[in-house]
A = this chain, B = another copy of it.
Amino acid sequence: MEIRVVNLQEKSDLIKELHQYKLIAELNNYQVKLVKAKREFIWHSHPETDELFLVVKGKMRLAFRDRTLEVKKGELIVVPKGVEHKPICKTLCTVMLIEPSGTLNTGNTGGQLTDTNLERI
């Protein structure tokens, strides 16, 4: 079993393409992913699981139906399962996600923005 130290800034710098999720670690049956984004994503929820976001670079707004929260570098938030949300990165941001393996980025909404190509970096 390989044990690696993962530097989040270095991994972020490796990512050249926006909106493509990269696998950076695994924790039991959970995946730790990194994505670089500059977009307003779509409304969706994950009926089966909570989802942890940790902002590594920049800031993200996380819209819920009743309010919008800002999550900045060095901050994390857990979206409970079943809660509709929409991540918004108006400026370039890098976000780490932790969720069970196989969790889709578009949750129950699906569609063209679904990214199933999870390259390990």
From known contacts A32-B52, A52-B32, A80-B1, infer whether A98 and B27 are also in contact, taking CB-CB under 8 Å: yes
- Give the interface size class of chain A: 35 or more
Cβ-defined contact, A78 with B26, below 8 A: yes
From known contacts A25-B52, A27-B52, infer whether A8 and B76 are also in contact, taking CB-CB under 8 Å: yes
Choose, from A14-22, A35-43, A67-75, A113-121, the stretch at the interface.
A67-75
Residue of B whose beta carbon sits closest to that of A4:
B77
Cβ-defined contact, B83 with A1, below 8 A: yes
Within 8 A of B (CB), among A63-93: 64, 69-72, 74-81, 83
Cβ-defined contact, B78 with A3, below 8 A: yes
